[in-house]
Amino acid sequence: MIRLHSPISRVATLLCLAGAGLVSAPAWAQSADTASADAEVEQARKHFSQGLKLYKEGDFDAALVQFERAYAIKSNFKVLYNIAQCYFELHQYVEARDALSRYVKEGASNIEAERKAQVDTDLSELQKRIAHLKLSVNVNGATVYVDGKKAGVTPLTSAIDVNEGQRTISVEAQDHGSKQRVVRLAGGEEQAVTLNFEELRPSAAAGSGSSPGGAARAPRGLGAGFWVTGIGALALGAGAGVTGYLALQAQSDREDNLKRPGVTAAELDDDASKAKTFALTTDILAGGAIVFAGIATVLLVTNDSGKEQVGLGVGPGNVSLRGTF
């Protein structure tokens, strides 16, 4: 029996289990003389026997594994009693209660009245060692873990039964990360715990903001301004490249004419004027390309502001930018 009232020795407890027919003559093997030839039955019996040995040695965790293996191979309800005993020794009272409840349910009329009464008493005592955690989380669909074991998904419709003592509560939510809290709970009591996540900030990239008037504003593209100024910057840059080449060519022609016999002053002045004009045009176009590129960059950065009033002024020898962003 589960040792809740008196310090019964482990050996005495195991002898009680052996008397239930689970050691030398397991219940699943009693009705057949040739059961030893059954590989599954033999394997289950070996797991059960090894579980008893480990239990006597005080290795309850390893014994639990062996008993669970035996039950998985041959589901004999009597093994559930041993499983409950191991859980109790490991201070896992919720699991011990659940295993013992299954023992009663699956054993039903096969359990003697005296043993049934003792098991009912044990179940009542176990309830005193189980706390009830009422967890509140402000995010639905979050996974709740107690000491690393999944306990449910929010919103939780009822309190979570947990073992008394110190417990680690973890909540994991997609897009929110995780929250963790260490709590101490008393058996037989209900304790409320709140774990709230910070509200997600609207993503600017998703265009979830609203206009000053409160109406939702649909996601916007880069806008015509960006494309006009971007293409303009490319065109002006290309133009600056052409006029720059022509300026250099005009300067080269003037230098060649200086070396040519019979050249007139008017021809030299004409060459100088062409070179100067092309050079000035190159400067203006290059400046315009830089300004347009700057405007395109500003429009790209401030694309979500909703204000795009940009103008370009070009005058003799200068380029000016005006606008509001």
Query: CA 285 to CA 288: how far, in whole Å?
Result: 5
User: Average of pLDDT values for 221-231?
Assistant: 72
Share of the chain above pLDDT 70, in %: 73
Return the amino acid letter for 245: Y
User: Residues 159, 128: contact at Cβ < 8 Å?
Assistant: no
User: Average of pLDDT values for 254-269?
Assistant: 73
Q: 0.75 cut: is pTM over it?
A: no
User: Average of pLDDT values for 254-265?
Assistant: 72
- pLDDT: is 4 or 195 the higher one? 195
pLDDT at 107: 92
Tokens 């040519």 sit on residue: 260
**Tens digits of per-residue pLDDT, 94-116?**
999 999 999 999 999 999 999 99
Residue closest to 3 by CA, chosen among 80, 73, 87, 75:
87
Asked if residue 296 has pLDDT above 90, the reply is no
Asked if residue 84 has pLDDT above 50, the reply is yes
pLDDT at 34: 57
Asked if residue 311 has pLDDT above 90, the reply is no
- pLDDT: is 259 or 318 the higher one? 259
What rounded mean pLDDT belongs to the chain? 78
Asked if residue 42 has pLDDT above 80, the reply is yes
Cα dihedral across residues 34, 38, 43, 48: positive or negative: negative
pLDDT at 303: 64
Residue 55 token pair: 């239990």
- pLDDT: is 51 or 320 the higher one? 51
Q: From residue 97, give the alpha-carbon distance in Å to each of 2, 124, 210.
A: 10, 9, 55
Query: Do β-strands 149-153 and 190-195 pair in parallel, antiparallel, or remain unpaired?
Result: unpaired
Asked if residue 142 has pLDDT above 50, the reply is yes
Asked if residue 76 has pLDDT above 60, the reply is yes
Asked if residue 37 has pLDDT above 70, the reply is no
Confidence of residue 38 (pLDDT cuts 50, 70, 90): confident
Query: CA 55 to CA 49: how far, in whole Å?
Result: 10
Backbone angles phi, psi at 160, to 5 degrees: -95, 130
User: Residues 188, 130: contact at Cβ < 8 Å?
Assistant: yes
Number of Cβ within a 10 Å radius of residue 263: 14
Confidence of residue 239 (pLDDT cuts 50, 70, 90): confident
Q: Is 141 helix (H, G, I), strand (E, B) or coil?
A: coil
Backbone angles phi, psi at 186, to 5 degrees: -95, 140
User: Average of pLDDT values for 175-195?
Assistant: 92
pLDDT at 8: 33
Confidence of residue 224 (pLDDT cuts 50, 70, 90): confident
Q: Is 66 helix (H, G, I), strand (E, B) or coil?
A: helix
Half-sphere exposure of 59 (CA within 13 A, CB side): 11
- pLDDT: is 221 or 274 the higher one? 274
Q: From residue 137, give the alpha-carbon distance in Å to each of 141, 169, 196.
A: 10, 12, 5
Asked if residue 49 has pLDDT above 80, the reply is yes
- pLDDT: is 311 or 15 the higher one? 311
- Most confident stretch, 11-15, 26-30, 34-38, 162-166: 162-166
User: Average of pLDDT values for 304-323?
Assistant: 51
